[in-house]
Amino acid sequence: MPKWIFVTGGVLSGLGKGLVSASISKLLQLREQEVVPIKCDGYLNVDPGTMNPHEHGEVFVLEDGTEVDMDFGHYERFLGIETKGDWNLTSGKIFQNVIERERKGEYLGKTVQMVPHVTDEIKNSWKESAEEEDTDIVIIEIGGTVGDMENQFYLEAARQMRSELPEEDTYLIHTTLVPYLETTGEQKTKPTQHSVRDLREVGLEPDMIVGRSKDLLEESVQEKIALFCDVDQREVVSDPNVDTVYRLPILFDEQNADKMISEKLELPDRTSGLGEWKARVENLASESIASVAIFGKYTAMNDSYVSIEEALKHASAELGGSVKIDYRDTEDLQLENIDDYDGIIIPGGFGSRGVEGKMEVIRYCRENNIPILGLCYGMQLIVIEYLRSCKGMDAVSEEFENGEEHKVIAELPGQKDIEEMGGTMRLGAYEAEVEGKVKRIYGSERVVERHRHRYEVNPEYHDKLQNGGMRISGFSTENKDLAEYLEKRDHPFFIGTQAHPEFTSSFEEPNPLYLEFVEQISK
């Protein structure tokens, strides 16, 4: 049987519970423990794929094609592992399963209730993931705030697990907010006290309290929280503002968080330490080696591009410095400003707003030898811009809903079949056979990256695209009609990919395409 760590949150949402879980998981991984992170969300959407990134941040895509929320990105980037769709529970998913079982008569005529049927469904799902992975530790992050209606049954499932299992098999970390009151110059503990009271009301006692605050927690504040919340003073851990999220494991290690968890869970006392990790963090805290502009749509909510931003940072940390990232909206575009940047990224996107501006940026980069990386939608726009400017074609994407022009980006018949089967997009990991610069960058003829798109480069236009300075340098292994990579010859870096290579980048192992891009622009 594995050990179970529950992470709950109090006071407010958005305290960074996912980062706390990821950081603690990292420290336990360094203690040679295999960790499976599970996230439980209260919302009724079956998955976050349909949620507006404006509201919910980026949709992260897993190897198996499941669409999950940003926290899975943190887990993968910190731990360097591939997480699975089954590790994300949503209330929608749980209820769907329970209702399906009820319809099939699996409850044998019983009244189906929140307790025990919904809570059993949750516990079984946790246990199945643990068994399947044969893991040492399962860390379960319960989304939302204690006291919310939405996550009550997850907390109840956690309570049942805690009472069923021996004391040394479970651990509970409660994260709260410790606000700083300017007028009196004090850190305030009352919200933490209240949220621990809410936690107790549902039958849970914390083993550790992580206090999110502007600065480190003062000793007197730790003492007070310890007294009111029934933990040791050393079990009140500071989670202050940091220059980079990758510093959190270092801060928690300095406060012996992993050591205390390890002791309570009776894990072997060994760790390989954070040496290499620290060196990378210091690189990120040092001078900028390159500046990048990301020309997107949701520029008010930078969370929509978090994986891209992180992948750039992973690359720069490996290369010995930091990277300066600007979010630019194409609606206030002034082309000459582009020269201020070492490199440009055209990220993934949907719909037609702002595309003309993005194509102007692509044209400028193509003509002026400015390094540019086009991701998914970005690659599709590279295709359209090239066929328009260099082949004089009236090129569009089917997504723009135009009239009778050349639909050089289109939904292919095979894709329409997927739609009939209930899916709507090409999702998850697919292999491509690559050549040219792309092959050199990856150091391999076969490359697997994750996808999330509906439209493709229309194969009828592949020839037109290739008989000039442009080259399709990667096709899908399973379907030779699908262009996966595109590059321009005689350009320092002009590459587009139908994939999202940012989803496979981790702090200790940057994605090769991002690494090459940052290396190129840092020269």
Q: Catalytic site residues?
A: 376, 500, 502
Nearest Cα to 173, choosing from 31, 2, 29, 37?
37
Q: CA end-to-end span of the chain, whole Å?
A: 51
Strand order in the sheet with 288-296: 322-329, 288-296, 343-346, 372-375, 494-497, 483-488, 470-476, 426-434, 446-453
Helix (H) or strand (E) run with residue 367 in it: helix 355-367
Q: Give yes or no for a cis peptide into 48 (omega within 30° of 0).
A: no
Query: Helix crossing, 306-319 with 512-521: angle to 10°?
Result: 60
Candidate residues 121, 399, 502, 516; the one interacting with ligand GLN per rule CB under 6 A: 399
Q: Is 453 in the site for ligand GLN (CB under 6 A)?
A: yes
Q: What are the beta bridge partners of residue 293?
A: 326, 344
Residue 153 or residue 377: which is nearer to ligand GLN going by CB? Answer: 377
SS3 203: coil
Give the Cβ contact number of residue 399 at 10 Å.
20
Residue 126 or residue 455: which is nearer to ligand GLN going by CB? Answer: 455
Smallest gap from Cβ 376 to ligand GLN, in A, equals: 3
Candidate residues 455, 485, 503, 514; the one interacting with ligand GLN per rule CB under 6 A: 455
3-state helix, strand, coil in the chain (%, to 5): 45, 25, 30
Q: Is 349 in the site for ligand GLN (CB under 6 A)?
A: yes
Q: Is 296 in the site for ligand GLN (CB under 6 A)?
A: no
- Tell me which stretch binds ligand GLN (CB under 6 A): 36-44, 184-192, 290-298, 453-461: 453-461
Neighbouring residues of 420: CB distance < 8 A, sequence distance ≥ 6: none
* Contact predicate 399/409, CB 8 Å: yes
The mark string for 195-234 relative to ligand GLN (x by CB under 6 A, - otherwise) is ----------------------------------------
Nearest Cα to 411, choosing from 481, 468, 507?
481
Number of residues binding to ligand GLN, judged by CB under 6 A: 10
- Tell me which stretch binds ligand GLN (CB under 6 A): 3-11, 16-24, 289-297, 448-456: 448-456
Q: Is 154 in the site for ligand GLN (CB under 6 A)?
A: no
Smallest gap from Cβ 153 to ligand GLN, in A, equals: 34
Instruction: Kindly state the tokens that stand for 228.
Output: 């009111």
Residue 430 or residue 507: which is nearer to ligand GLN going by CB? Answer: 430
Residue 270 or residue 416: which is nearer to ligand GLN going by CB? Answer: 416
Instruction: Kindly state the tokens that stand for 432.
Output: 């491509």
Q: What are phi and psi of 202, to 5 degrees?
A: -95, 15
**CA–CA separation, 299 vs 55, rounded Å?**
13
- Tell me which stretch binds ligand GLN (CB under 6 A): 65-73, 258-266, 323-331, 346-354: 346-354
Q: Is 60 in the site for ligand GLN (CB under 6 A)?
A: no
**CA–CA separation, 151 vs 86, rounded Å?**
18
Smallest gap from Cβ 428 to ligand GLN, in A, equals: 13
Which residue is at the shortest CB distance from ligand GLN?
Answer: 348
Residue 86 or residue 329: which is nearer to ligand GLN going by CB? Answer: 329
Q: Is 298 in the site for ligand GLN (CB under 6 A)?
A: no
Q: What are phi and psi of 433, to 5 degrees?
A: -100, 125
**CA–CA separation, 513 vs 122, rounded Å?**
39
**CA–CA separation, 225 vs 222, rounded Å?**
5
Candidate residues 348, 357, 501, 512; the one interacting with ligand GLN per rule CB under 6 A: 348
* Contact predicate 452/350, CB 8 Å: no
Site for ligand GLN in 227-256 (CB under 6 A): none
Residue 16 or residue 349: which is nearer to ligand GLN going by CB? Answer: 349
Q: What are phi and psi of 372, to 5 degrees?
A: -145, 140
Candidate residues 407, 452, 488, 491; the one interacting with ligand GLN per rule CB under 6 A: 452
Candidate residues 454, 464, 488, 491; the one interacting with ligand GLN per rule CB under 6 A: 454
Alpha carbon separation from 100 to 37, 43, 106, 157 (Å, rounded): 26, 19, 9, 20
Q: Is 75 in the site for ligand GLN (CB under 6 A)?
A: no
Q: Is 376 in the site for ligand GLN (CB under 6 A)?
A: yes
Residue 214 or residue 353: which is nearer to ligand GLN going by CB? Answer: 353
Smallest gap from Cβ 12 to ligand GLN, in A, equals: 31
Smallest gap from Cβ 520 to ligand GLN, in A, equals: 23
Q: Is 47 in the site for ligand GLN (CB under 6 A)?
A: no
Q: Is 350 in the site for ligand GLN (CB under 6 A)?
A: yes
Smallest gap from Cβ 261 to ligand GLN, in A, equals: 38
Smallest gap from Cβ 499 to ligand GLN, in A, equals: 9
Residue 213 or residue 304: which is nearer to ligand GLN going by CB? Answer: 304
**CA–CA separation, 223 vs 233, rounded Å?**
5
Smallest gap from Cβ 293 to ligand GLN, in A, equals: 18
**Strand boundaries in 263-319, DSSP class E:** 288-296
Alpha carbon separation from 461 to 406, 456, 481 (Å, rounded): 9, 11, 11
Q: Is 377 in the site for ligand GLN (CB under 6 A)?
A: yes
Distinct helix (H) and strand (E) counts, the chain: 18, 23
Smallest gap from Cβ 148 to ligand GLN, in A, equals: 31
Smallest gap from Cβ 347 to ligand GLN, in A, equals: 7
What residues make contact with ligand GLN under the rule CB under 6 A?
A: 348-350, 376-377, 399, 452-455
